[in-house]
Structure 1
Amino acid sequence: MSSLNLDNFRALAERFVSQMLQGNYEMAASQFDNQMKTAIPLPELKKSWQRLTIPAGDLIQTGVLQTAELEGHQIVSVRCQFERATIDVQVVFNSKGRVSGLSIIPSQTEYHPPDYVDDSAFREVEVTVGKGKWSLPGTITIPTGPGPFPGVVLVHGSGPNDRDETLGPNKIFRDIAWGLASKDIAVLRYDKRTLQHASEFTPELLSQLTVQEEVIDDALLAAELLRQTPEIDPKRVYLLGHSLGASVAPRIGQEDPDLAGLVIMAGIIRPLEDTILEQFTYLYSLAGEMTKAQKDTLESLKVKVARAKDPELSIDVPSKELPLGMSASYFLDLRNHPTDKIIKNLEMPLLILQGGRDYQVSPTIDFKMWKEELESREDVTCQLFPGLNHLFIEGEGKSTPTEYGVEGHVSEEVIETIINWLTEG
């Protein structure tokens, strides 16, 4: 248990933001945990902060906006009121008071629909996915007109995502839902179980959590809900997964053979622990030569990855001995349902999309493996978008975590590719 109380965390967040406002980036960054030091190197921290605060004008006032607790972490939001903008700084602390997450979000991040959205072409209906303890709030975006329409269920990546898969100012699931609905395709999106019911996930429950409870069960319920919606053609209900949702989409298809097809956006096909190690190695490379602490962290991670791969791995292995502190149950469940094996017997059309600038899912390894595993299948379409990152947003140069804090939209080319595949298939 942490000896820090809520007032301590509030004070730590205010001190951190004050240091940033004073331009004392080194002092602020010294409070990062090892993962954050890798994810946001000092030059990136300074650049992303200045990009938002310099145009905002003079500082008027600051104050703690809200606090929250999630899975043993304290989240403190500090609002900075500037002359021309308001910026919310969300600081995530681990139990030891180290900064383990950071979001710098202009609070004026009103959603600006991309040009491909025609908001007169659809309406939105609030729904509930599932029943009882784990029920989830969701939204069906329904095209105007008589129907029945094809429908798509959107399945999130890892972490406690909302129905828009909001990341900073970006809402990629809203882009997709509104983009498809503008062209007569209905879309269901919903808040993820680990977001909506965060307080229910006790340490004991987390130690038993697998992707089945985190993702799959709710996706299956969502697909069934969409089939039962009067405006939807039940024979044309598809599933679109992004990141983790894409990786387990074939498993969802295996459990629900009535799905008309799967759209896989940035899905890994290899063991999760392999890509975790690759991501850390990539992030370390951004800051140039590794520090001793970074080298030590990487060596420690290699040991944890080897532990996850151990044929003798059992559910009794403590999560602290495994990558990212995830449970042995989680890794064992993924091991027992390998994506590359599942797709060999999956009899439904697949559309596999990949960004060429994605550092979280490798275009040269994962995407290549999807293509090679499925090259004999005529009902599989694979497409690479060279200029897009993990969010399928356009960019240049090496992709970094701070890039996700810049407002953008899912590429229109991606939206058109999905629409064409859904309507021509």
Structure 2
Amino acid sequence: MAPDTGTGWQPPPYADPSAFAEHDVTVGSGALAVAGTMSLPRHRDAVPAVVLLSGGGPFDRDETSGPNKPIKDIAWGLASLGIATLRFDKVTWTRHGVAGDPGFTMTEEYVPHAMSAIRLLRERPEVDAGRVFVLGHSMGGKVAPRVAAAEPAVAGLVIMAGDAQPMHHEAVRVTRYLASLDPSPQAAARAAAMARLAAVVDRPGLSPATPRAELPLGLSGGYWLDLLGYQPVSTAAALPTPLLLLQGGRDYQVTLADDFARWRSGLTDHPDVTFRVYPDDDHLFFPGTGPPTPADYEAAQHVDPAVLTDVAECLMRR
């Protein structure tokens, strides 16, 4: 994603800051506790609520990318529609070296904090404790079924551009796509290097002791082993809770063909699943036109209002 440009974020047109109040909270405990923000609709009782999970990487609670804050868009949009939200800084953002710890995994990165956030919302008198949902974007969507499997109180999941293809294979595909946009020897070399690193993940000898320098994305061997042992689609299929899966048609990171198709196929027998595709939206659910590129994330934009409407309608009727 694009680095934070320092450009001031402006609320999306569909957000009404007078409709809700925000409160600082602490999510988790001990050395890995992080700061978060709870957005509670004003003058309402027994409202549904949703914990928001950002994508992979060291994101703050708003999933800041360039001048954009897609998770804050979602939080403010839903709170304006009468749904409480809780978003929090990822531990990889507050403690930059934690990802290098040998025992640090995707599970450790997300699940304890998500469970703490669920409890915080369920304790609020304004919230209907039986209607606390989890909404995850990108890797946050990938891990959302694992959160629900660990916490039976979760009332349902919203998975936005959740990746289902093995992540090291996805990294190779994305790097090759970016190389196709920049057909230079340097780009080709980056794609070839990613393919070599990804091949290490597929080897039988992968272990927690495998050096990070030999693996994709600077993640540890333990992190990759945790990913290899987790099947998001089959985990979601075993859940009794409602599922809403959203996908942008212009997303080159998590795609209709490589990821969304896996969710569709694997959830055929789930009793309560809804799929939504937004043909013009990219990975951050920003509407646009033409072939998607990383430059799309550098312009100030907001999450598609149709996405907020669909999510709110789904949660409100539960």
Q: TM-score range by the shorter chain?
A: over 0.9
Letter in 2 for 1:172: P
Quick one: distance in 2 between partners of 1:351 and 1:135? Answer: 29
Does 1:191 find its partner at 2:84?
Answer: no
Do residues 408 (structure 1) and 306 (structure 2) align?
A: no
Q: What does residue 284 of structure 1 align with?
A: 179
TM-score normalised per structure 2: 0.95
Aligned to 2:152: 257
Superposed, which structure 2 residues align to 1:184-333 within 5 Å? Answer: 184-198=82-96, 201=98, 203=100, 205=101, 207-287=102-182, 289-291=183-185, 293-333=186-226
One-letter amino acid matched to 2:292:
S
Cα displacement string for residues 366-395 of structure 1 (whole angstroms, at most 9, x for unaligned residues):
111111111222310011101001110111
Give the 3-state SS of the residue equivalent to 2:77 in structure 1: helix
Output one character per residue of 1:247-275: Cα deviation in whole Å (capped at 9) or x when no partner: 11111111112100000001111211010
Is the alpha carbon distance of 1:125 and 1:361 closer, same or farther for their aligned partners in structure 2, counting shifts above 3 Å?
same
Counterpart position of 1:388:
281
How many residues align structurally?
318
Deviation at 1:122, TM superposition (A): 0.8
Greater RCO (CA < 8 Å, at least 6 residues apart): 2
AA aligned to 2:69 is: K
Name the structure with the higher strand share: 1
SS in 1 for 2:22: strand
Deviations 1:147-182 (A, max 9, x none): 111110001111111111111111111111111111
Partner secondary structure for residue 364 of structure 1: helix
Aligned to 2:313, the other structure's residue is in SS state helix
In structure 2, distance between residues paired with 1:308 and 1:144: 49
Cα deviation 1:287-328 (Å, max 9, x = unaligned): 2x342x433433332222121012332112111111122211
- In percent, how many aligned pairs have the same letter? 42
The alignment partner of 2:302 has SS state of coil
Instruction: Give the match for residue 93 of structure 1.
Output: none
For 2:25, the equivalent position in structure 1 comes to 127
Equivalent residue, structure 2, for 1:158: 56
What secondary structure is seen at the aligned counterpart in 1 of 2:257?
coil
Within-5 A mapping of 1:33-112 = 103=3, 105=5, 107=6, 109-112=7-10
1:140 equivalent in structure 2: 38
Which of 331, 340, 360 aligns to 2:253? It is: 360
Instruction: Give the partner amino acid of 1:120.
Output: S
Which letter maps to 1:254?
A: A
How far has the Cα of 1:336 moved from its partner?
1.2
User: Is contact 1:170-1:408 (8 Å) kept?
Assistant: yes
Partner of 1:97: none
* Distance in 1 between residues matched to 2:292 and 2:3, nearest whole Å: 17
Cα distance, 1:222 vs. partner? 0.8
SS in 2 for 1:389: coil
Give me the TM-score of the superposition, normalised by structure 1.
0.72
Please give the residue correspondences for 1:162-181 in structure 2 after superposition, counting only pairs within 5 Å: 162-181=60-79
Counterpart in the other structure of 2:265: 372
Q: Deviations over 1:40-99 (max 9, x none)?
A: xxxxxxxxxxxxxxxxxxxxxxxxxxxxxxxxxxxxxxxxxxxxxxxxxxxxxxxxxxxx
* Whole-Å separation in 2 of the counterparts to 1:202 and 1:254: 24
Aligned amino acid, residue 280 of structure 1:
T
Structure 2 runs not aligned, ≥5 long: none
Q: Deviations over 1:121-152 (max 9, x none)?
A: 11111111122211111111000113111110
SS of the equivalent of 1:124 reads: strand
Question: Residue 102 of structure 1: CA displacement?
Answer: 6.8
The residue matched to 1:170 in structure 2 has which SS?
coil
SS of the aligned residue for 1:264 comes to strand
CA distance in 2, matches of 1:370, 1:252: 17
Which letter does structure 1 place at the counterpart of 2:256? P
Structure 1 Cα separation of the partners of residues 16 and 261 of structure 2 = 35
Contact 1:239 / 1:259 at 8 angstroms: preserved in 2? Answer: yes
Contact 1:104/1:405 (<8 A) preserved:
no
Superposed CA RMSD: 1.7
For the Cα contact (< 8 Å) 2:234–2:266, is it kept in 1?
no
Is the Cα–Cα contact under 8 Å of residues 356 and 387 in structure 1 kept in the other structure?
A: yes
Q: Is the 8 A contact 2:179 2:191 kept in 1?
A: no
Q: Which residue of 2 aligns with 1:339?
A: 232
For residues 258 and 412 of structure 1, what CA distance do their matches in structure 2 show? Answer: 28
Q: Is the 8 A contact 1:242 1:264 kept in 2?
A: yes
Quote the offset at 1:195 in angstroms.
1.2
| Equivalent position of 1:22 in the other structure | none
CA distance in 2, matches of 1:208, 1:140: 30
Supply the distance in 2 between the matched residues of 1:313 and 1:161 (Cα, whole angstroms): 28
Contact 2:86 2:121 in 1 (8 A): yes
1:341-369 superposed Cα distances (whole Å, 9 cap, x missing partner): 31231111110001111111011221111
